[in-house]
Amino acid sequence: AVVSTQSTGEHCEEYGRMLQADPTKVSARAKKRGLPQLGTLGAGNHYAEIQVVDEIYNKQAAKRMGIDEEGQVCVMIHCGSRGLGHQVATDALTEMERAMKRDNIVVNDRQLACARISSEEGQNYLKAMAAAANYAWVNRSSMTFLCRQAFAKLFQTTPDDLDMHMIYDVSHNIAKIEQHMLDGKEKTLMMHRKGATRAFPPHHPLIPVDYQLTGQPVLIGGTMGTCSYVLTGTEKGMQRTFGTTCHGAGRAYSRAKSRRNLDYLTVLQNLKDKGISIRVASPKLVMEEAPESYKNVTDVVNTCHGAGISDKCIKLRPVAVIKG
C-alpha cells in the first residue's frame, strides 16, 4: 500500500475482500498464529518506508494518484498475511501430497505440491488462500491507520489535514480466477502471480473510477538503499502477460550468501551516507536485505517499461526504513 481518506476500499484490489474466502478452511493453528500478528510487518523483505518523490514521468497519471510535485512525501508498506498465510500453505502442502498420490501427480520438488482445481483439496486451498489474502488486506489497513496516526501525532494535526490518502493496495503471490483473451476468445483462467503483481490497463472494469483513464497503479518495491517505483498498467500488458508485471527487483544473492559476504556495519554506514535512517529488528536482516543483495530495480522497471507491459509513473527515494 502507498499512503500518500478518500475511499480506501475502492483503492484496494478486490475492494480489500475476496468473497470466496471461507474461514472454516483455515486451521485453528493458522488462526492462532495470525491473531497476535495483526498490524505487524513481519521479517524477510517486508518493510515500511517513508519516501520522497524523486521523479515524475507521467504528470497526468501521478496527479490522479494525488502526487503533484517532486519532494512530496509518501509512505510505502510491504507486508502480507504473516504466520496465518504461512500456516495455510503448510497445511495445504500436507493435504495436497495425499491428493497427488491418489491422482498419480508427480513433481520433482515437495514445494511444488499441487492438486486439481476442481478437487476438494484444490477448492479448500483456494478458499483458505482467499481468507489469508483478506487477512493481509486487513493487516495493511491496520498499519496504514497506525501510520496516519503517527504522522498526525508528530505534526499535531489530523490525517485528513495532512492529505494522507491511499493511492492503491495491490497483492502479489496470489492465485485468482479472471477473464482474459486467449487465442482470440475470452476465457476463464486461474491466474497465479508469484513474484509478480497485477497491472490492469485503463478502462478495465475491476480498477477504481479514479484510475479508469490512467490504468491501475502498480507498486514496485526496490531496496532500502535505492528506490521504488509506481507504474501503471497497459493494454499491451493485458494482451501479452494477462495484465501482469514485476513486483520488485528480485534477489541477486541468496539470504545465506548475503549474510556470508556482507558486513552489518558497512551496510548501515552506506545507508547513513545516503541520508537514510533505518530501524531493524535483527542485524541479519540488514545483510539479507542490503541493496547489494538485489538486482538493480531501475533496470528491471526499465525492462518492463520498454516491453510495454507497464508504464513508469513515479520514482520514490527512501529516507527512513523500518524492517520487521
User: What string of pLDDT tens digits covers the 324 residues of the chain?
Assistant: 555 434 468 899 999 999 999 999 999 999 999 999 999 999 888 999 999 999 999 999 999 999 999 999 999 999 999 999 999 999 999 999 999 999 999 999 988 999 999 999 999 999 999 999 999 999 999 999 999 999 999 999 998 899 899 999 999 899 999 999 999 999 999 999 998 999 999 999 999 999 999 999 999 999 888 999 999 999 999 999 999 999 999 999 999 999 999 998 999 999 999 999 999 988 888 999 999 999 999 999 999 999 999 999 999 999 999 997
Task: Single out the catalytic residue among 11, 46, 247, 305.
Answer: 247
pLDDT of residue 1: 55
Q: Give the span between the Cα atoms of 308 and 240, in whole angstroms.
A: 9
Q: What residue type is 229 in one-letter code?
A: Y
Encode 257-290: b = buried (16+ Cβ within 10 Å), e = exposed.
Answer: ebbeebeeeebbeebeeeebebebeeeebbbbbb
pLDDT of residue 3: 52
Q: What residue type is 103 in one-letter code?
A: D
Instruction: Give φ, ψ of 83 to 5 degrees.
Output: -65, -25
pLDDT of residue 2: 54
Mention every residue, 6+ apart, whose C-beta is less than 8 A from residue 182. Answer: 189
Distances (CA, A) of 240 to 26, 65, 74, 231, 304: 35, 26, 31, 17, 12
**Total Cβ atoms within 10 A of residue 192:** 11
Q: What is the largest CA-CA distance in the chain?
A: 63
Q: Is 247 a catalytic residue?
A: yes
What nine digits make up the cell of 265? Answer: 556495519
